[in-house]
Structure 1
Amino acid sequence: MEQQPASSDQSTQETTSAGHMIVRSLEAHGVERVFVVPGESFLDVLDGLHDTSIQTVVCRHEGGAAYMAEAMGKLKQVPGVAMVTRGPGAANAHVGLHTAWQDSTAMVLFVGLIPFEHREKEAFQEFDPKAWFESGAKRVMVLDHPDRASEIVAEAMFAAQSGRPGPVVVGLPEDILREAHDTIVHPPIPIATGGMTVTDWKALKAALLRAERPLFVFGGNDWDDATAQKFTAWLEAHSLPAAAEWRCEGTVPFGSPSYVGPLGYGRPTFTHEVLGESDLLVFVGTVPGDVVTDGFTVRQNWDKENFIVTIDPSLRGRSGPVTQQIVAKPESFVRDLARMDLPVADSWKAWTSDLRAKQEEFAQLPSAEPGEGQAQMATLMANLVERLDEDAMVTFGAGEHTNWAHRYFPTNGYASLISARNGSMGYSVPSAVAAALLYPGRQVVSIAGDGEFLMNGQELATAAQYGAAPLVVVMDNQEYGTIRTHQEAQYPERISGTQLKNPDFAKLAEAYGGFGVRVEHDADVPAAVQDALAAVADGRFALIHLIVDQRVKAY
């Protein structure tokens, strides 16, 4: 993975506080913004951020700040950074850590702590960061001396990115932060990216030449645009198909002749069957986990060939047979793969063409002409997609509303779709705000459900404060729809604990300073989409509150 250059004065010793040195070190690692909910426990870090190139984004809830940092870790080749205070603040941020852990996202959470001298006395907001976080973070570190401030930042950024990416927690005792010490900025630590050995290369080549129905499965957050484009070009040159791990669409673009659809929950029938039909699976950047394999039930027969390309030697989360593991990050694997020129088999062409035709049929947009009666999500998607820019991106959290984006949103590049693969609700709005801040002027669309929106919708106030302008679509069916679906299957006609009564989200958006429109009738959908996108183009966030029928599903 590409490393950010350290500051030019990194070798110059200076006397400064530990809190200020942490900020200097984050700058040296290429951090552009941090997402914070302030606390008195890390005031010296906040003071250090006052005179820095790093943008301090003040959020409205620690969960929102952690989600924004996690989203930034997906979007950039630098870990996302959040800062919260001790006790309750750390507890609220835990949801973002779990997302980063299960999604393999490089992220660093800095947590202010009580002073050293107050430990083990049940001091105000005291907690043990290692006891709380060690089971769900790659490392938990506590700054114990001011001269280690820069070193601990370098170690945290390295740990978050090295091997399988993930979250790291750094505890910052309040008194240590204020202490001054003679120190230098620690340079970034290089990340090993692995690669194919000669044995790996020959084994994969032989397996591909044997296969009649090979399938590549891409996923994870350890890619970059150049690697994704090179991977796509190699697949297309060889008429080979590629499917997306759940909520990883875009690495191979939506319109590529090699892209054959998404895997995971809510998948179309043909991609469910393809895992069993393929005689060779090559997972790149991910493993065959429980979501892809339907709870470890699909592709479990050991006579199948599975190559798994991941930098994680433990293969954590995988199921089924492993023919060969290639220990490499996508960048190094694709670099070596691009040197493999193979004769294109007729069976590959036929297999890819058949799968691609099914994907194109599945993704065919419904009519943009509105019908009579209640507003339809299908009508909204048809009107939205035809107005999107080529580089538009989408974010969402968890719920049945996400299926509309999976099916129709044209993801045309790495990280053009970001979501929470741990099924975490409340991710849609914070991730959209983070993306809109990173890419001003780019169309960022968030598809949210009514239940999910109210978990972190207050971060629209953050969007307004910092000029972020995403378009948020709230699909309101007045229920927790996914749970209702499971409930209907297991307890028919006994609906309990899933129904909601919602406010007017459009008025809420206007109160936060954005554009809001409430849509109850399908005839009003086209104008609402047009007006919302116009507001976004003018630099305001927009929200479409779409009132839909509970019975209508994406597929």
Structure 2
Amino acid sequence: MTQLDIAPPLSTDAMPSPLAAVRSTTETAGHAIVRVLEEHGIQRAFVVPGESYLEVLDGLHDSTIETVVCRHEGGAAYMAEAEGKLGPLPGVAMVTRGPGAANALVGVHTAWQDSTPMVLFIGLIPLAHRHKEAFQEFDVQGWFAAGAKSVMVLDVAERAQEVVADALFLARAGRPGPVVIGLPEDVIRESIEHHPQPQLPVADGGMTGHDLAALRGALQEAEKPLFVTGGSDWDAEASQRLTRWLERHRLPAVAEWRTEGIVPFESPSYAGPIGYGRPKPTLDVLEECDLLVFVGTLPGDVITNGFLVRQGWQRRNFLVSIDPTLRGRSGAVSHHILARPSAFVRDLEQIELAADERRARWTTRLREQQSAFSALPDRTPGDGIASMATVMAHLVPELDEHALVTFGAGEHTNWAHRYFPTRSYPSMVSCGNGSMGYSIPSAVAASLHFPEREVVSIAGDGEFLMNGQELATAAQVGATPLVILVDNQEYGTIRTHQERRHPGRISGTQLENPDFAMLARAYGGHGIRVEADRDVPGAVAAALELWRERDRFVLLHVITEQRAQAY
């Protein structure tokens, strides 16, 4: 028997364990998904759990990514969409197959119409169960392909890291939007090799020499130019730089529906909101101006009052959009500048215009109209039922310069459009597709994204009851918005349309509501109810005092009359 020379064993400190070596080079596809999200800077994921993606949930357990457990997939998707608006990265939501995916579709539609970067992960049935009408099986391509930029299904585990990196890129590239990733539950349990996935750069575009010359010439010739700002693809620096440039040249800008705050509320260049419910003078200026420059948005049906305003082909319209197809455009296009707002503003600063008193008078006139329109109502309460005019008169002066407002859809939103002081970007988070139920989820997302800022949500009673249960999420994760709940016991917008087409025949729009202040307390927040206008000043003061403790959310339940309008 041959004697073998056996080296003495290495100390346990010097010798890596075989298990550690395996862990350093392999991981499950579900864990790899979380790691790539983490490496790309994603800070939180909004989830409703499901057994179909347990491996991803397990990966989140030890991750730096905050897992925000939501009460409904629609709420989770809205939160992710709002996070995408708040920037700079896509919002991330995770839901399960079948019913969970169906519930999340509303957030995908919101992201599609608002051009918001968002990634939705959906757990799916195992591969072997496919096409057998298995429990909660559905066609992810069939459901989402028409309303997402891309729909991917992770059928090969080894591609998990690449697919996530691609999705985060696609959500932001070109015109931003939602990307959907299907995760078969057996595939994400497979072990794969660890491969880093660097972030892919997103092209910003910019003005060519020809673009600069064309825009400079058009602005110099115009007597009544007007900028229209909008969209979700902005940042604070671009907002500030555009504002400085407009003010230096004494040029006016209006804000697309539900996107106020790009040019601050109190800027001498800000000429007000434009969209549904707009004041008539703001609509009239679209026809009166001799040059329109749309930045980050397009002249769609909302701005043009159903494709009726500014439709003549002789109109001079410059469109600044990173989308080469100009999808959603209405009316004439004189010049298309392919650029994101930040790149456009960077290049715009090269343009210096000669002073022109005609443009200055035009800007002053528009600003005076907006100042009169947005002047706060009288602070003196009336004798009757609580009024939102009194609420806003007492709330707005108490807000700090970085206050942010969220809201969904309904006539209650007009109180924010008219009076809320959007002073710094972003300071208004809403949904251009008119989606009800958005106010509370977006307020939770905004409060988590900006914990140092004052976040106010103005919600209608009908809208609140669609996703108000996400206040339980707010209590769980420490989100602290101030919710102003406008309770007029009806679906007010539909009632308005109903009165126009079928006057005096109210049908399907009236509501009987719970005590929302009591409900807020049950969810773990503070709740205050006010019914008489004389009690509004004290109720607002009490709500603000509780809110500034910042220990939990506060809800002010305002019982108001039907047909009460902001304008």
Q: Same fold (TM over 0.5)?
A: yes
Q: Quick check: 1:318 aligned with 2:329?
A: yes
Letter in structure 1 aligned against 2:375: Q
Match of 2:338 among 327, 343, 346: 327
The equivalent position to 2:199 in structure 1, one of 188, 197, 204, is 188
In the alignment of these two chains, the number of paired residues is 544
Please give the alpha-carbon distance, in whole angstroms, between the structure 1 residues aligned to 2:354 and 2:122: 54
Contact kept? 1:21, 1:185, Cα under 8 Å = no
Match of 1:487 in 2: 498
Runs of 4 or more consecutive aligned structure 1 residues displaced over 3 Å after TM superposition: none
* Residues 401 and 424 in structure 2, CA contact (< 8 A), matched pair in contact too: no
Which of 425, 429, 437 is the equivalent residue of 1:426? 437
Mapped partners of 1:449, 1:533: distance in 2? 20
Match of 2:560 among 533, 548, 554: 548
Give the letter aligned to residue 262 of structure 1.
Answer: P
Q: CA deviation at 1:108?
A: 0.3
Q: 2:273 aligns with which of 262, 265, 271?
A: 262
User: Which residue of 2 is the match for residue 277 of structure 1?
Assistant: 288
Cα deviations by residue, 1:54-74 (Å, 9 ceiling, x for unpaired):
000000000000000000000
SS at match of 1:386: helix
Report whether the alignment pairs 1:366 with 2:377. Answer: yes
SS of 2:429 mapped into structure 1: strand
The yes-or-no answer on 1:381 pairing with 2:381 is no
1:210 matched to 2:221? yes
Q: 2: distance between equivalents of 1:229 and 1:443?
A: 20
Could you say which residue in structure 2 is the equivalent of 1:129? 140
Alignment of 1:532-547 (within 5 A): 532-538=543-549, 539-547=551-559
Q: Distance in 2 between matches of 1:20 and 1:46?
A: 8
Of 33, 49, 55, which residue of structure 1 is paired with 2:44? 33
The answer on 1:62 being equivalent to 2:73 is: yes
Query: Counterpart of 2:163 in structure 1: which amino acid?
Result: I
Q: 1:169 matched to which residue of 2?
A: 180
Amino acid of the structure 2 residue aligned with 1:302: W
The question of 1:147 aligning with 2:151 is answered no
Distance in 2 separating the partners of 1:393 and 1:505: 22
Gaps of 5+ in 2: 1-22
TM-superposition CA deviations, 1:323-361 (whole Å, max 9, x none): 010000001100000111111211110000000000000
**Quick one: distance in 2 between partners of 1:307 and 1:13?**
54
Instruction: Quote how far apart the aligned CAs of 1:551 are.
Output: 2.6
**TM-score normalised by the chain length of structure 1:** 0.97
Whole-Å separation in 2 of the counterparts to 1:183 and 1:444: 40
- For the residues of structure 1 that align with 2:463 and 2:173, how far apart are their CA atoms? 32
Which letter does structure 2 place at the counterpart of 1:230? R
Q: CA deviation at 1:367?
A: 1.4
Q: Is residue 29 of structure 2 the alignment partner of residue 14 of structure 1?
A: no
Q: Is the 8 A contact 2:443 2:457 kept in 1?
A: yes
Distance 1:497 1:157 in 2: 42
Tell me if structure 2 keeps the 8 A contact 1:24–1:185.
no
- Percent sequence identity over aligned pairs: 66
* Deviation string, structure 1 residues 289-335 (Cα, Å, up to 9, x no partner): 00000011101011110000000000000010000100000011000
**After superposition, what is the alpha-carbon deviation per residue over 1:457-483, rounded to whole angstroms, capped at 9, x for unaligned?**
000000000111101111011000000
Instruction: Tell me the residue number matched to 1:7.
Output: none
- Rounded Cα–Cα distance in structure 2 between residues aligned with 1:443 and 1:533: 11
Partner letter of residue 29 of structure 1? Answer: H
Structure 1 vs Structure 2 CA RMSD:
0.9
**Rounded Cα–Cα distance in structure 2 between residues aligned with 1:510 and 1:200:** 56
Distance 1:157 1:467 in 2: 27
* Number of the residue aligned with 1:451: 462
The answer on whether the counterparts of 1:475 and 1:545 sit within 8 Å (CA) in structure 2 is yes
Aligned residue type for 1:40: E
Contact 1:19 1:45 in 2 (8 A): yes
Q: Is the 8 A contact 2:226 2:291 kept in 1?
A: yes
Alpha-carbon separation, structure 2, partners of 1:144 and 1:344: 62
Between the aligned partners of 1:450 and 1:492, the Cα distance in structure 2 is 23
Q: Which residue of 2 aligns with 1:249?
A: 260
* Deviation per residue, 1:380-416 (Å, 9 max, x gap): 0010001101100100000000001100000012220
- 1:463 paired with 2:477, answer no
- Write the distance in 1 (CA, Å) between the matches of 2:355 and 2:121: 51
Q: In structure 2, what is the Cα distance between the partners aligned to 1:160 and 1:285?
A: 16
State the partner residue of 2:534: 523
Q: 2:34 aligns with which of 6, 23, 32?
A: 23
The residue type paired with residue 546 of structure 1 is V
Deviation at 1:534, TM superposition (A): 1.9
Larger radius of gyration: 2
Give the residue type in structure 2 aligned to 1:53.
Answer: T
Letter in 1 for 2:554: A
CA distance in 2, matches of 1:260, 1:402: 19
Q: Give the secondary structure class of the aligned counterpart of 1:91.
A: helix
CA distance in 1, matches of 2:195, 2:24: 5
- What is the CA-CA distance between 1:172 and the residue it aligns to? 0.5
Aligned counterparts of 1:445 and 1:530: Cα–Cα separation in 2: 15
CA distance in 2, matches of 1:551, 1:424: 21
Cα separation, 2, equivalents of 1:417 and 1:486: 26
Specify the SS of the correspondent of 2:300. coil
Aligned to 2:426: 415
Distance 1:552 1:195 in 2: 45
User: In 2, distance between residues paired with 1:146 and 1:98?
Assistant: 28
In structure 1, C-alpha distance between the alignment counterparts of 2:486 and 2:202, rounded to whole Å: 42
Q: TM-score if structure 2 supplies the norm length?
A: 0.95
**Aligned 8 A contact 2:475 2:525 in 1:** yes
> 1:53, 1:482 → 2: CA distance?
43
1:185 Cα deviation from its structure 2 partner: 2.2
CA distance in 1, matches of 2:423, 2:116: 21
Q: What's the secondary structure of 1:95's corresponding residue? A: helix
Equivalent pair of 2:480/2:553 in contact (CA under 8 Å):
yes
Residue identity opposite 2:362 in structure 1 = W
Give the conservation status (yes or no) of the 8 Å contact 1:376–1:522: yes
Given that 2:492 and 2:563 are in contact with CA atoms closer than 8 Å, whether structure 1 keeps it comes out as: no
Contact 2:46 2:76 survives alignment (8 Å): yes
- Counterpart residue number, 2:5: none
Deviations 1:246-276 (A, max 9, x none): 0010010000000000000000111110100
Shift of 1:13: 7.5
